[in-house]
Amino acid sequence: KQEVTQIPAALSVPEGENLVLNCSFTDSAIYNLQWFRQDPGKGLTSLLLIQSSQREQTSGRLNASLDKSSGRSTLYIAASQPGDSATYLCAVGPGSGGSQGNLIFGKGTKLSVKP
Amino acid sequence: NAGVTQTPKFQVLKTGQSMTLQCAQDMNHNSMYWYRQDPGMGLRLIYYSASEGTTDKGEVPNGYNVSRLNKREFSLRLESAAPSQTSVYFCASSVRTATGELFFGEGSRLTVL
Protein backbone atom coordinates (compact mmCIF):
# COMPACT_ATOMS: atom_id res chain seq x y z
CA LYS A 1 0.00 0.00 0.00
CA GLN A 2 1.36 3.39 -1.04
CA GLU A 3 2.32 5.65 1.86
CA VAL A 4 3.34 9.28 1.56
CA THR A 5 5.37 10.96 4.29
CA GLN A 6 6.24 14.61 4.71
CA ILE A 7 8.98 15.68 7.06
CA PRO A 8 9.13 17.96 8.96
CA ALA A 9 5.52 18.39 10.08
CA ALA A 10 6.21 22.04 10.82
CA LEU A 11 8.90 24.51 9.82
CA SER A 12 9.58 28.09 10.84
CA VAL A 13 12.03 30.28 8.92
CA PRO A 14 12.90 33.98 8.73
CA GLU A 15 11.80 35.94 5.71
CA GLY A 16 14.18 35.77 2.77
CA GLU A 17 15.48 32.26 3.42
CA ASN A 18 15.51 29.60 0.74
CA LEU A 19 13.92 26.39 2.00
CA VAL A 20 13.20 22.81 1.00
CA LEU A 21 10.15 20.73 1.86
CA ASN A 22 10.41 16.97 1.59
CA CYS A 23 8.00 14.29 0.42
CA SER A 24 8.73 10.56 0.30
CA PHE A 25 6.63 7.68 -1.01
CA THR A 26 6.99 3.94 -0.59
CA ASP A 27 5.94 2.67 -4.04
CA SER A 28 7.90 4.12 -6.95
CA ALA A 29 5.22 3.06 -9.47
CA ILE A 30 3.52 6.43 -9.59
CA TYR A 31 1.84 8.24 -12.47
CA ASN A 32 2.52 11.74 -11.20
CA LEU A 33 3.13 13.81 -8.09
CA GLN A 34 1.45 17.05 -7.15
CA TRP A 35 2.29 19.74 -4.63
CA PHE A 36 -0.53 21.73 -3.05
CA ARG A 37 -0.82 24.69 -0.76
CA GLN A 38 -3.58 24.98 1.87
CA ASP A 39 -4.31 28.16 3.78
CA PRO A 40 -6.19 27.90 7.11
CA GLY A 41 -9.87 27.23 6.59
CA LYS A 42 -9.46 27.01 2.83
CA GLY A 43 -9.28 24.39 0.13
CA LEU A 44 -6.15 23.12 -1.56
CA THR A 45 -4.51 25.02 -4.38
CA SER A 46 -2.40 23.11 -6.87
CA LEU A 47 1.15 24.48 -7.12
CA LEU A 48 3.02 22.07 -9.36
CA LEU A 49 2.28 18.80 -11.13
CA ILE A 50 5.19 16.53 -12.12
CA GLN A 51 4.54 13.63 -14.46
CA SER A 52 6.44 10.41 -13.77
CA SER A 53 8.61 10.96 -16.84
CA GLN A 54 9.71 14.40 -15.64
CA ARG A 55 12.48 15.30 -13.20
CA GLU A 56 11.31 18.75 -12.15
CA GLN A 57 8.82 21.56 -12.63
CA THR A 58 9.20 25.26 -11.94
CA SER A 59 6.73 28.04 -11.28
CA GLY A 60 8.05 31.41 -10.20
CA ARG A 61 9.93 30.99 -6.91
CA LEU A 62 8.89 27.35 -6.64
CA ASN A 63 10.78 24.36 -7.98
CA ALA A 64 9.69 20.77 -7.46
CA SER A 65 11.89 17.78 -8.21
CA LEU A 66 11.03 14.11 -8.51
CA ASP A 67 13.27 11.08 -8.05
CA LYS A 68 11.08 8.04 -8.58
CA SER A 69 13.81 5.50 -7.98
CA SER A 70 14.46 6.79 -4.47
CA GLY A 71 10.80 7.60 -3.79
CA ARG A 72 11.42 11.28 -3.09
CA SER A 73 10.26 14.71 -4.13
CA THR A 74 11.33 18.11 -2.89
CA LEU A 75 9.67 21.50 -3.10
CA TYR A 76 12.18 24.34 -3.12
CA ILE A 77 10.93 27.82 -2.22
CA ALA A 78 13.32 30.65 -3.01
CA ALA A 79 13.44 33.91 -1.09
CA SER A 80 10.57 33.01 1.23
CA GLN A 81 7.96 35.64 2.14
CA PRO A 82 5.40 35.85 4.98
CA GLY A 83 2.71 35.25 2.35
CA ASP A 84 4.19 31.79 1.78
CA SER A 85 3.00 30.75 5.24
CA ALA A 86 0.62 27.83 4.73
CA THR A 87 0.48 24.05 4.86
CA TYR A 88 2.09 22.33 1.89
CA LEU A 89 0.90 18.88 0.87
CA CYS A 90 2.18 16.43 -1.68
CA ALA A 91 0.09 13.73 -3.32
CA VAL A 92 1.01 10.87 -5.61
CA GLY A 93 -1.09 9.54 -8.43
CA PRO A 94 -1.18 5.75 -8.63
CA GLY A 95 0.75 3.68 -11.14
CA SER A 96 -0.89 1.08 -13.32
CA GLY A 97 -1.73 -1.18 -10.39
CA GLY A 98 -3.64 1.34 -8.33
CA SER A 99 -7.06 2.89 -8.39
CA GLN A 100 -7.01 5.62 -10.94
CA GLY A 101 -9.04 7.92 -8.75
CA ASN A 102 -7.11 7.56 -5.57
CA LEU A 103 -4.45 10.18 -5.07
CA ILE A 104 -2.53 9.42 -1.88
CA PHE A 105 -1.79 12.51 0.21
CA GLY A 106 0.88 13.21 2.76
CA LYS A 107 -0.15 14.94 5.99
CA GLY A 108 1.60 18.13 5.04
CA THR A 109 4.29 20.49 6.29
CA LYS A 110 3.07 23.62 8.05
CA LEU A 111 5.35 26.48 7.02
CA SER A 112 5.64 29.72 8.92
CA VAL A 113 7.73 32.55 7.45
CA LYS A 114 8.53 35.22 10.05
CA PRO A 115 8.92 38.86 8.95
CA ASN B 1 -13.94 32.22 -12.22
CA ALA B 2 -15.99 29.99 -9.90
CA GLY B 3 -14.00 26.74 -10.36
CA VAL B 4 -15.35 24.21 -7.84
CA THR B 5 -18.25 25.36 -5.67
CA GLN B 6 -19.45 23.49 -2.57
CA THR B 7 -22.54 24.05 -0.48
CA PRO B 8 -23.14 24.37 2.38
CA LYS B 9 -19.91 25.71 3.89
CA PHE B 10 -20.96 24.84 7.45
CA GLN B 11 -23.51 22.38 8.84
CA VAL B 12 -24.36 21.01 12.25
CA LEU B 13 -26.32 17.76 12.41
CA LYS B 14 -27.63 15.52 15.14
CA THR B 15 -26.76 11.84 15.12
CA GLY B 16 -29.07 9.99 12.75
CA GLN B 17 -30.00 12.98 10.62
CA SER B 18 -29.35 12.96 6.89
CA MET B 19 -27.94 15.58 4.58
CA THR B 20 -26.48 16.11 1.14
CA LEU B 21 -23.36 18.08 0.26
CA GLN B 22 -23.51 19.64 -3.16
CA CYS B 23 -20.61 20.23 -5.53
CA ALA B 24 -20.50 21.84 -8.94
CA GLN B 25 -17.60 22.61 -11.29
CA ASP B 26 -17.58 24.88 -14.30
CA MET B 27 -14.31 23.74 -15.90
CA ASN B 28 -15.81 20.98 -18.07
CA HIS B 29 -13.84 18.37 -16.15
CA ASN B 30 -14.62 14.70 -16.57
CA SER B 31 -13.62 13.50 -13.10
CA MET B 32 -14.87 14.56 -9.70
CA TYR B 33 -13.99 13.49 -6.16
CA TRP B 34 -15.07 13.74 -2.55
CA TYR B 35 -12.40 13.80 0.16
CA ARG B 36 -12.56 14.20 3.90
CA GLN B 37 -9.82 15.85 5.93
CA ASP B 38 -9.29 15.01 9.57
CA PRO B 39 -6.54 16.15 11.96
CA GLY B 40 -3.71 13.62 12.01
CA MET B 41 -5.27 11.56 9.20
CA GLY B 42 -4.72 13.80 6.23
CA LEU B 43 -6.95 13.76 3.18
CA ARG B 44 -8.77 10.54 2.38
CA LEU B 45 -10.82 9.75 -0.70
CA ILE B 46 -14.46 8.84 -0.05
CA TYR B 47 -15.84 8.37 -3.57
CA TYR B 48 -14.94 9.49 -7.05
CA SER B 49 -16.53 9.69 -10.45
CA ALA B 50 -14.18 9.10 -13.34
CA SER B 51 -16.74 10.34 -15.84
CA GLU B 52 -20.42 11.18 -16.07
CA GLY B 53 -22.47 8.09 -15.25
CA THR B 54 -19.80 6.29 -13.22
CA THR B 55 -18.91 6.29 -9.53
CA ASP B 56 -16.40 4.26 -7.54
CA LYS B 57 -15.48 3.78 -3.91
CA GLY B 58 -12.39 5.33 -2.48
CA GLU B 59 -10.58 4.59 0.74
CA VAL B 60 -13.39 5.41 3.22
CA PRO B 61 -16.82 4.98 1.55
CA ASN B 62 -18.80 3.48 4.45
CA GLY B 63 -21.72 5.66 5.56
CA TYR B 64 -21.79 7.71 2.37
CA ASN B 65 -23.52 7.65 -1.00
CA VAL B 66 -22.83 9.74 -4.08
CA SER B 67 -24.62 10.81 -7.21
CA ARG B 68 -23.06 12.16 -10.38
CA LEU B 69 -26.06 14.20 -11.44
CA ASN B 70 -24.50 15.41 -14.69
CA LYS B 71 -21.05 16.39 -15.88
CA ARG B 72 -21.00 19.49 -13.64
CA GLU B 73 -22.46 18.17 -10.40
CA PHE B 74 -21.42 15.51 -7.89
CA SER B 75 -23.24 15.19 -4.57
CA LEU B 76 -22.34 13.38 -1.35
CA ARG B 77 -25.10 12.09 0.92
CA LEU B 78 -24.94 11.05 4.55
CA GLU B 79 -28.01 8.89 5.17
CA SER B 80 -27.67 8.58 8.96
CA ALA B 81 -24.97 10.86 10.29
CA ALA B 82 -22.62 9.66 13.02
CA PRO B 83 -20.18 11.65 15.20
CA SER B 84 -17.31 9.89 13.38
CA GLN B 85 -18.38 11.76 10.25
CA THR B 86 -17.50 15.10 11.81
CA SER B 87 -14.93 16.40 9.37
CA VAL B 88 -14.12 18.89 6.65
CA TYR B 89 -15.29 17.64 3.27
CA PHE B 90 -13.67 18.71 0.03
CA CYS B 91 -14.91 18.28 -3.48
CA ALA B 92 -12.35 18.27 -6.28
CA SER B 93 -12.27 17.85 -10.03
CA SER B 94 -9.76 17.09 -12.76
CA VAL B 95 -9.75 16.69 -16.52
CA ARG B 96 -9.12 12.94 -16.07
CA THR B 97 -8.61 10.71 -13.06
CA ALA B 98 -5.15 10.68 -11.52
CA THR B 99 -3.43 12.09 -14.58
CA GLY B 100 -4.40 15.69 -14.35
CA GLU B 101 -4.14 18.60 -12.02
CA LEU B 102 -6.65 18.50 -9.19
CA PHE B 103 -8.79 21.55 -8.39
CA PHE B 104 -10.45 21.81 -4.98
CA GLY B 105 -13.46 23.58 -3.57
CA GLU B 106 -13.31 25.64 -0.38
CA GLY B 107 -14.60 22.83 1.82
CA SER B 108 -17.69 22.05 3.88
CA ARG B 109 -17.24 21.83 7.63
CA LEU B 110 -19.65 19.27 9.12
CA THR B 111 -20.22 18.68 12.81
CA VAL B 112 -22.32 15.74 13.99
CA LEU B 113 -23.46 15.96 17.61
Q: Report residues of chain B scoring pLDDT below 50.
A: none
pLDDT surpasses 60 at A98:
no
Of B110, B72, B73, B104, the closest CA to residue B91 belongs to: B104
How confident is the model at residue A111, as a pLDDT? 97
Which of B42, B48, B99 minimises the CB distance to A105? B42
Query: What's the CA angle centered on A5, arms B63 and B50, to 5 degrees?
Result: 45
**Is residue A102 less than 8 Å (CB to CB) from chain B?**
yes
- Which positions in chain A touch B97 (Cβ < 8 Å)? 100-101
How confident is the model at residue B15, as a pLDDT? 97
Which of A34, A49, A101 minimises the CB distance to B33? A101
Give the minimum alpha-carbon distance from A69 to chain B in angstroms, rounded to a whole number.
Answer: 20
How confident is the model at residue B99, as a pLDDT? 65
Model confidence pLDDT, tens digit, residues A43-81? 999 999 998 889 999 999 999 999 999 999 999 999 999
**Is residue B95 less than 8 Å (CB to CB) from chain A?**
no
pLDDT surpasses 70 at A101:
no
How confident is the model at residue B96, as a pLDDT? 76
**Average pLDDT value for chain A:** 92
How confident is the model at residue A93, as a pLDDT? 85
Confidence category of residue A2, pLDDT binned at 50, 70, 90: confident
Sorted by sequence, the CB contacts under 8 Å of residue A66 that are 6+ apart come out as A33, A50, A52, A54, A55, A56, A72, A73
